[in-house]
Amino acid sequence: MNKILVANRGEIALRVMRSCREMGIKTVAIYSEADRNAPFVKYADEAVCVGPPPSNQSYLLGDKIIEICKVLNVDGIHPGYGFLSENADFAAKVKKSGITFIGPSPEAMNMMGDKLSAKAAVKKYKIPMVPGSEGGITSVEEGKKIALETGFPLLIKASAGGGGKGMRIVEKIEEFEEQMKLAVSEATSAFGDGSVFIERYVAGPRHIEIQILGDTHGNIVYLFERECSIQRRHQKVIEEAPSSVLTPEIRKAMGECAVNVGKACDYVGAGTVEFLLDENKNFYFLEMNTRLQVEHPVTEMITGMDLVKEQIKVARGEKLSFKQEDLKIHGHSLEVRVYAEDPSNNFLPDIGKLATYRRPQGLGVRVDDGFEEGMDIPIYYDPMIAKLVSFGKDREEAINRMLRAIDDYQITGVETTLSFCKFVLKHKAFTSGNFDTHFIKHHYSPEMLIEEKDDEAIVAAIFGAKLMSTLQSNNKQESQMEEPNKSKWKSNR
Ligand code: MV4
């Protein structure tokens, strides 16, 4: 493979191109008019504008992207995450054009993209699943019967959904008919597929996902777990590896299940198998994501593996160069997602210019981003500014290092979620490891950030007043003291 086109933008485009460069592979960027000056465009060996800012006129134009590949003699396409990354039709067209799609087969994508076909495919491997309907429910009568057998509360999920889309909770049988009708009509309009199924509602679960990697020779390994329970409206906020609750036994059992899920669809490349873990540490398969995930860096930090490099190697047909026994967990890693959103104003997007933008540095800190100081954050895409990743010998060191890195991050011009991440990292429920997917609902309200800011403002005011009086009482001797920090950037402290 000599030249790879990255069919994506922002931090992930840059992250993919870095690995290509290390491998001596040329890169092609595609970009929309909104991204003309973005770092990923400058970093690429070649760059082509594909259209106006809206995604459906630029980053989602599969056919146009394939045409560009032909003109520029591209031999591989890396789709990143989002956009075309889980579009089986696109993957099939790429393959048909004689270009390598760096990812799984269209068949694996289709099979795992549909939750019911995913469940059916993994059945022969005895993967634990939440009790509920065996397959899709086609009538209210059938649904009610299964609902009574399953027990309440239960969830009605859309087969074509995923990531929390198209889920409805049902507390009692009287609500079932109405909720099922709503679920079916929502799924039909959102996905063009009204298939739904039933699962018992697991209360207070942890969301744990396993990274897998497969080659074209039938080898699949697991690269341990990522704990992703800290999320807000199905948007992950903080991820970590390893999880503080898994014992080596559960880790091995989940890892082997994830490998079997991969086997069920002949998985090739990097994929993620999602599980719920209940209070009694029973785990259940939820769904599989057939792409490189946003939070993949924490796995890279604890395994020492470059997941993009491995994706490219298996796409070239190489065998995995290591076995399961060669993989070990080293240390602990955290990732926080830095969004241009205002956590004290219901996380409303706060797009604008990055007036100041200085990254934290130092031992055990990694920043994956796609912006430079002075750039505007476009309104057309996800408002994620950066992924801030810390690594330490253990969880405590990784947390303290992350807190230091958050304090060192200098961003002005837009509000960010950094203060919120700091709140979570300092919370007893988080530091103790005793939390679940309801962390934010249970422990967060916007006043907490405001109170914290006020406390700090008071402390700063008292300090300032003391300093003044000291200076005044020493006014005979010339003070060597520097002026208090007058820099304009808002501290995350
Ligand atoms: C569940 C569940 C409880 N019980 N399934 C949400 C995302 C999608 N992948 C599946 N989700 C859930 N499925 C059963 N049977 C709770 C969730 C859920 C959740 C899962 C992971 C992370 C955050 C979540 C937030 C709310 C609900």
Compute the distance from residue 136 Cα to the ligand 1 centre, in Å.
Answer: 18
Compute the distance from residue 168 Cα to the ligand 1 centre, in Å.
Answer: 11
CB 46 within 8 A of CB 53: no
pLDDT score recorded for residue 299: 99
pLDDT score recorded for residue 164: 76
Partners of 155 in the beta sheet? 169, 199
Q: Return d(Cα 225, Cα 208) in angstroms, integer.
A: 6
Question: Which of 157, 167, 232, 441 gets mutated to test ligand 1 (max ligand atoms within 8 A of its CB)?
Answer: 167
Compute the distance from residue 364 Cα to the ligand 1 centre, in Å.
Answer: 32
Which residue lies with its CA nearest to atom 20 of ligand 1?
A: 207
pLDDT score recorded for residue 428: 97
For range 362-376, the mean pLDDT: 98
Residues 6+ away with beta carbon under 8 Å from 420: 237, 343, 444, 449
Partners of 32 in the beta sheet? 51
Instruction: Calculate helix-pair angle for 307-315, 10-22, nearest 10 degrees.
Output: 70
- How sure is the predictor about 467, in pLDDT bands with cuts at 50, 70 and 90? low
pLDDT at residue 240 greater than cutoff 80: yes
For range 319-333, the mean pLDDT: 98
Q: Return d(Cα 4, Cα 311) in angstroms, integer.
A: 12
| 205 in contact with ligand 1, CB cutoff 6 A | yes
pLDDT at residue 275 greater than cutoff 80: yes
| 286 in contact with ligand 1, CB cutoff 6 A | yes
Sheet of strand 196-200: strand arrangement = 165-170, 154-162, 196-200
Partners of 169 in the beta sheet? 155
**Which atom of ligand 1 is closest in space to residue 202's alpha carbon?**
4
Q: Return d(Cα 324, Cα 310) in angstroms, integer.
A: 15
Which residue lies with its CA nearest to atom 10 of ligand 1?
A: 164
Compute the distance from residue 20 Cα to the ligand 1 centre, in Å.
Answer: 35
Percent of the chain predicted with pLDDT > 90: 89
Compute the distance from residue 164 Cα to the ligand 1 centre, in Å.
Answer: 6
| 275 in contact with ligand 1, CB cutoff 6 A | no
Q: Given 3.40.50.720, 3.30.870.10, 3.40.50.300, 3.30.470.20, which CATH number is that of 206-448? A: 3.30.470.20
Q: How far is CA 111 from CA 29, 104, 211, 251, 265, in A?
A: 30, 11, 18, 25, 7
**Which atom of ligand 1 is closest in space to residue 274's alpha carbon?**
9
pLDDT score recorded for residue 276: 98
Partners of 277 in the beta sheet? 206, 283
Percent of the chain predicted with pLDDT > 70: 91
For range 438-457, the mean pLDDT: 80
Q: Which of 159, 153, 167, 113 is nearest to 136 (CA)?
A: 159
Which tokens is 95 given?
A: 């393959």
pLDDT score recorded for residue 449: 87
pLDDT score recorded for residue 274: 98
Choosing from 251, 291, 366, 401, which is the catalytic residue? 291
Q: Which of 389, 368, 35, 236 is nearest to 7 (CA)?
A: 35
Residues 6+ away with beta carbon under 8 Å from 474: none
Q: Return d(Cα 125, Cα 179) in angstroms, integer.
A: 32
pLDDT at residue 479 greater than cutoff 60: no
| 437 in contact with ligand 1, CB cutoff 6 A | yes
| 30 in contact with ligand 1, CB cutoff 6 A | no
User: From its phi and psi, is residue 317 left (phi > 0), alpha (psi between -120 and 50) or beta?
Assistant: left
Whether 316 is catalytic? no
pLDDT score recorded for residue 484: 41
Question: Which of 129, 197, 273, 286 gets mutated to test ligand 1 (max ligand atoms within 8 A of its CB)?
Answer: 286
Compute the distance from residue 49 Cα to the ligand 1 centre, in Å.
Answer: 38
3-class SS of residue 231: strand
pLDDT at residue 287 greater than cutoff 70: yes
Burial 292-315 (b: 16+ CB within 10 A, else e): bbbbbbbbbbbbebbbbebbbbbb
The number of residues making up the chain comes to 493
State pLDDT tens for residues 42-71. Answer: 999 999 999 999 999 999 999 999 999 999
- What's at 169, amino acid-wise? I
CATH fold, domain 3-102, is Rossmann fold (3.40.50)
pLDDT score recorded for residue 480: 40
Question: Which of 157, 437, 440 gets mutated to test ligand 1 (max ligand atoms within 8 A of its CB)?
Answer: 437
| 330 in contact with ligand 1, CB cutoff 6 A | no
pLDDT at residue 488 greater than cutoff 50: no
The average confidence (pLDDT) of the chain is 93
| 155 in contact with ligand 1, CB cutoff 6 A | yes
| 199 in contact with ligand 1, CB cutoff 6 A | yes
Which residue lies with its CA nearest to atom 21 of ligand 1?
A: 207
Which tokens is 138 given?
A: 């086609």
State pLDDT tens for residues 116-173. Answer: 999 999 999 999 999 999 999 999 999 999 999 999 999 999 999 877 788 999 999 9
Q: What CATH number was assigned to the domain covering residues 131-200?
A: 3.30.1490.20
What are the extents of the domains in the chain? Answer: 3-102, 131-200, 206-448
Rg, the chain, Cα only: 24
User: From its phi and psi, is residue 131 left (phi > 0), alpha (psi between -120 and 50) or beta?
Assistant: beta
Which residue lies with its CA nearest to atom 11 of ligand 1?
A: 164
Compute the distance from residue 205 Cα to the ligand 1 centre, in Å.
Answer: 8
Residues 6+ away with beta carbon under 8 Å from 451: none
CB 421 within 8 A of CB 398: no
Strand 332-339 to 348-349 pairing: unpaired
For range 182-198, the mean pLDDT: 94
pLDDT score recorded for residue 161: 87
Compute the distance from residue 97 Cα to the ligand 1 centre, in Å.
Answer: 38
Q: Return d(Cα 184, Cα 157) in angstroms, integer.
A: 9
| 130 in contact with ligand 1, CB cutoff 6 A | yes
| 207 in contact with ligand 1, CB cutoff 6 A | yes
